[in-house]
């Protein structure tokens, strides 16, 4: 189970970083259409989320009194529904003008690799006690790592859409503005 988890986490990390690196520096802060985040804002949102998850994983834990993967399918299903619009908590909203690309991607790479290390070294069946995820309650480390992967995969899909919008000037919804 842990080997497959690490493979999936590392694939997720590699994929999102690959997509983010595909953006040219001058595209990183461009809003592709009204109401969208920039690639930089998506990256900053992921960085803030990952920082919070790491704090939870290394916080207080207890022995789990249920199947440690009980909520995995529900978390995965929720984040894979791309028609569902979600609101981010204020704590992890991106700033109007996130840092420059290399600074942001270096920090994100560091946090994501720390999450991979947590998956490799922590008892993934332990329940995290420091934060209840709205709609889910307390999660195990395995479930938090599933949240990390599903959340990152959802935003990787969003980044791919942003990238396509920035490279298809014939698209009728294409309205570039910089922030």
> How confident is the model over 110-129, as pLDDT tens digits?
999 999 999 999 999 999 99
> How confident is the model over 94-105, as pLDDT tens digits?
998 899 999 999
Q: Assign residue 135 a region: left if phi > 0, alpha if psi is -120 to 50, beta otherwise?
A: left
Total domains in the fold of the chain: 1
CA 162 to CA 105: how far, in whole Å? 17
Q: Please, what is the average pLDDT of the chain?
A: 91
Model-level pTM greater than 0.75? yes
Cβ–Cβ < 8 Å for 31, 38? yes
> How confident is the model over 32-91, as pLDDT tens digits?
988 899 999 999 999 999 999 999 999 999 999 999 999 999 999 999 998 888 888 888
Q: What is the CATH number of the domain that holds 121?
A: 1.20.120.450
What range does the domain containing 140 cover?
2-178
């Amino acid at each position: 189970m842990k080997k497959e988890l690490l493979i999936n986490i590392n694939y997720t990390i590699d994929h999102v970083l690959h997509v983010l690196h595909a953006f040219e520096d001058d595209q990183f802060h461009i809003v592709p259409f009204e109401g969208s985040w920039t690639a930089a804002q998506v990256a900053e949102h992921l960085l803030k989320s990952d920082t919070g998850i790491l704090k939870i994983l290394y916080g207080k834990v207890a022995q789990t009194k249920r199947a440690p993967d009980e909520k995995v399918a529900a978390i995965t299903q929720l984040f894979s529904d791309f028609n569902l619009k979600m609101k981010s908590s204020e704590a992890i909203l991106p700033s109007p003008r996130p840092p420059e690309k290399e600074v942001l991607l270096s920090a994100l790479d560091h946090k994501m690799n720390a999450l991979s290390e947590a998956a490799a070294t922590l008892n993934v069946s332990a329940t995290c006690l420091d934060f209840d995820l709205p709609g889910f309650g307390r999660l195990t480390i395995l479930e938090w790592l599933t949240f990390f992967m599903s959340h990152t995969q959802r935003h990787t899909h969003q980044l791919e859409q942003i990238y396509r919008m920035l490279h298809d000037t014939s698209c009728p919804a294409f309205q570039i503005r910089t922030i």
